[in-house]
Structures are given as C-alpha cells and as structure tokens.
Structure 1
Amino acid sequence: MRLALSGVSVRIDSSPIVAECDLTVEDGERVGLVGPNGSGKTSLLRTVYRALDPFAGSVALSGDDVTTLSQREVARRAALVAQDSTPDFDFTVEEVVAMGRGPWLRAFESTTGGGDATITAALERVRLADHRARRLSTLSGGERQRALVARALAQESPLLLLDEPTNHLDVHAALELLELVKDLERATLCVLHDLNLAAAYCDRIYVLHGGRIVADGPPAEVLDPELVRTVFGVTCTHLTHPVTGGLLLAFSPQQPVRSPHSVKG
C-alpha cells in the first residue's frame, strides 16, 4: 500500500485550510503529521478517507485516485482511528470491533456472534480478548483507544490513519498505544501533538504550518531548533534519550523581546 498526496489544497466554506501539500507514506512506513493547532492536520487527513474532497490536487491509494473509488473500497484500503470516535451508543467491545468488518460484508450479513476469527485475532492483538463482553463506557481511556485500534485491525486495511490517538491519555496509556501501533508494522499516517512521541515512533515527519508543509524528513533532521522556534514558538534543545539513545526534545518558552523603553535606570 502506498499513499500519495499531490498538490492537495482544501477549502471549507470557501476558506483555504491547506494549500499545495505533497505527502507520501510507503508500505510499512510510519509517518507523522505535526503542526500547531489550526494548521490543517486533521483536514489533510480527512482527504485520505474522503470525508473531505480536495479543492485541488489528488489523493491516491495504491495508485488509484480516491475520488474514483467507492467509500467501501476506500475503507478496504485505509482504516481510521479518529478523534472522539467512540460510538454514540454503548456497545460492547466485541460489537465495536465487529464494526470494522463492515466494508467486507454483504448486505444484511451479521458481524456479531463471536465466531469471526478476524475479530478475535484483533481483540487478542490489543490484549482485550478478556474484555470483549464489557461495555465500552466501562473501559479506561487507554483501553477504549485500544478497542478502536482493534476495530481498525478487524477492517484488515493495509493503511492505518490515526488522528491524535494519544489525546487525553496518560503517559502510560499513550506509550502503550504507540508501542502497539509500532508492532503492527503497517503503513501508518499519524497526526500527533507531542513532538517527542513523533520523534520516538515515526520514521518520517511532515510539519504543517499555516496550511502548508514546511518540512519533511527524519525526525532528527526536521525538528531542528530553528524550525521548532518558528513553527511552534518555543525554544528547543536537542538531547539524547538516556534509555533509547534517540532524539529527545527539551522545550522552554521563548524569552519575550523587551522594549528598550522598558529598561529602568
């Protein structure tokens, strides 16, 4: 599976959101999409699964423009774990995971009953097999996110799309979830706020700023102090993680520029 965005621009109610974005995710690659709030990350991700149509440019899955594919075919190629994607009704964990089978089922074919090996395998992969009969509302935040990842796994799509998957999770749950995604070895496009998590778990990173991609490449090259200062408005120092040996970013607020007229003396 290869995802390719070429010159993608998005407008909502005639307002430009993102402009002329090029982005690729190769088979098995984990790619992060980072940027300040309002930079267009989620809007760009939504063009991949056809929740938004590009104003210009194209989005291709395995070489096919998504606008030529049915929504069912898009879902067979790309599975989404969206922000606040908990179902409105209080389903059991098994029922939620079974929803991932929808793109592959014939009309009126049931996904429930517990006999589907794909559903069972997905539950076991996220370590929720013992929780299959529990209501989603009874789970912790981390467990709910794992259930939603299991739903995406049951969808058996070669591309995984994650929109802020660690949002509202504590440190343990966030690391556990990203370790799980890493072990899946699927092509992954992940929107993240936390730059240290992006640096630790992504092979490449795209940085969005003002609706445009301003940098892309390996985390250690892209997240340089000057770019972080310009895009995120903070001072950044590169450190080496004492355990993993990877990149660790230390942040501090930018010092405000003092007017010479404010100096007393």
Structure 2
Amino acid sequence: MRLSLSGVGVRIGSVPIVADCDLTVEDGERVGLVGPNGSGKTTLLRTVYRALDPFAGRVALSGDDVTTLGQREVARRAALVAQDSTPNFDFTVEEVVAMGRGPWLRTFESTIGRGDGPITAALERVRLADHRSRRLSTLSGGERQRALVARALAQESPLLLLDEPTNHLDVYAALELLELVRDLGRATLCVLHDLNLAATYCDRLYVLHRGRIVAGGPPAEVLTPELVRTVFGVTCTHLTHPATGGLLLAFSPRRAAPRRDAADGPVAR
C-alpha cells in the first residue's frame, strides 16, 4: 500500500486550512506528521479517509484517487484510530473490535459470537483477548487505546492512520502503544505532538506550519534547532539517547535562549 498526497489544499467552508501539501507513505513505512496546534495536521489526515475532500490536488491510495472510491473501499484500504474515538455507547471490547469488520460484511451481517478470525487475532495482538467481554468503560486509558488499535487491525487494511494516539496516556501506556504500532509493520501515518516520540518511532517526518508542509525527511534531518525554533517557538538541543543511540531533543522556552536576535536578524514567528 502506498499513500500519496500531491498539491493537496483543503478548505473548511471558505477558510483555507492547508495548501499545496505533498506527502508519501510507502509500504511498511512509519511516517509522522507534526506541527503546532492549528497547523492542519488532522485536517490533512481527514482527506485520506474522505471525511474531507480537497479543493486542490490529489490523494491516492495504491494509485487510485480516493475521490473515485466509495467509502467502503477506502475503509478496506485505510483504517483510522481517531482522536476521542471511544464509542458513545458502553460496548464490550469484542463489540468495539468487531466494528472494524464493517467494510467486509454484508448488510445486517454480524461477526459477534462466531469466533471471527480477524477479531480474535487483533485482540491477541494487543493483548486484550482476556478482556474481550469487559465493557470499554472499565478499561484504563492505555487499554482503551489498544482496543481501538485492535478495531483498526480487525479491519485488515494495509494502511493505518493514527490521530494523536498517545493523547491523555501516561508515559508507560504511550510507549507501549507506539511499540505495538512499530511492531505491526504496516504502512502508518501518525499525527503526533511529542517530537521525541515522533523522532523515536517514525522513519520519516513531515512538519506542518501554518497550513503548509515546510520540511520532510528523517527525524534528525528535519528537527533541526533552527526549524524547531521557527515552527514551535522553543529552543532545542540535539542529544544522543543513552539507551537507543537515537535522536533526543532537549527543549527550553525560547525566552530562555541567549538574546542573539540583533546579530542574527529578524526571527520568524
């Protein structure tokens, strides 16, 4: 599965949110989408599963323009774990995961109670097989997120879309969830706020700033101190993680940095 966005622009009503965005996710690749609040990350993600259609450019799944595909076919190719996507009703874990089979079922067909293979496999993969009869409301935050990932796995789509999957999770649960996603080996596009998590778990990153992609590439090449200062308004120092040997960013408020603006010229805001 290959995801490709070419020159994508999106409006909400008459208000432009993102413009001229190019992005790719190759088969088996984990790609992160980062940027400040309001930069357009979720809007861009929504074009992939057709919650929004672009007014300009093209979004393609395996070469097919998503606007030519029905919603069921899009769902067969891309599975979503959205922000605040816990169902309103208090379903059991198994019922929630079974929702992922929707794109493959005939009208009124149900998988509950049939020992459906993809559902069982998904529950086992996220280590919730023993919790399948529990109500979602009785789970911890990390367990609920794993249940929602299991729903996406049961969907058996080759592309996984994650919108802030670590929101409201403690450190252990966030790392556990991203380790799970990494081990899946699926093409993944993940919106993240935490730059260190993005640097650790993504093969490549795209940075959105004021509705435009301003950088793309491997984390160490993209998250330069200059870019972080310009886009996120903080100073950052590149360190080496003592355990993994990977990139580790140390942040401080921009006002704490030495005052060099006069010598360096105007600073982007």
Q: What is the TM-score normalised by the length of structure 2?
A: 0.95
C-alpha distance in structure 2 between counterparts of 1:104 and 1:259, whole Å:
58
Aligned counterpart, 2:61? 61
Write the distance in 2 (CA, Å) between the matches of 1:111 and 1:21.
39
Q: Confirm or deny that 1:195 pairs with 2:200.
A: no
Distance (Å, rounded) in 2 between the aligned partners of 1:117 and 1:27: 24
Structure 1, 41-50 or 105-114: larger mean CA deviation: 105-114
Q: Which runs of 5+ in 2 are unaligned?
A: 263-269
Compute the RMSD of aligned alpha carbons.
1.4
**Aligned runs of 1:58-137 on 2, under 5 Å?**
58-137=58-137
> What SS does the aligned partner of 1:80 have?
strand
Q: Which residue of 1 aligns with 2:185?
A: 185
Distance 1:105 1:220 in 2: 43
The equivalences for 1:160-179 within 5 A come to: 160-179=160-179
Amino acid at match of 2:199: A
1:18-57: CA deviation from partner (whole Å, max 9, x where unpaired): 0000000000000000000000000000000000000100
Structure 1 residue runs of 5 or longer lacking an equivalent are 261-265
What residue identity is the alignment partner of 2:254?
Q
Amino acid at match of 2:36: P
Q: Distance in 2 between matches of 1:118 and 1:66?
A: 25
Change (3 A) 1:13 1:176: same
The one-letter code sitting in structure 2 at the alignment partner of 1:5 is L
Cα drift, residue 13 of structure 1: 1.3
Offset at 1:4? Answer: 0.2
Shift of 1:114: 4.8
Q: In 2, distance between residues paired with 1:7 and 1:201?
A: 26
Paired residue for 2:247? 247
The answer to whether the 8 Å contact 1:94/1:114 transfers is no
Structure 1 position 175, deviation (Å): 0.1
**Does the CA contact (< 8 Å) of 1:207 and 1:215 recur in 2?**
yes
- Offset of 1:255 from its aligned partner? 1.9
User: How far, CA to CA, are the matches of 1:195 and 1:108 in structure 2?
Assistant: 43
| Equivalent residue, structure 1, for 2:17 | 17
Contact 1:114-1:120 at 8 Å conserved across structures = no
The Cα offsets for residues 48-72 of structure 1, whole Å up to 9 and x where unpaired, read as 0000000100100000000000000
Would the alpha carbon gap of residues 114 and 173 (structure 1) be closer, same or farther in structure 2, given more than 3 Å must change?
farther
Tell me the equivalent position of 1:156.
Answer: 156
Superposition TM-score, scaled by structure 1 size: 0.96
Paired-residue identity, %: 88
Aligned length: 260
Q: Which residue does 1:228 correspond to in 2?
A: 228
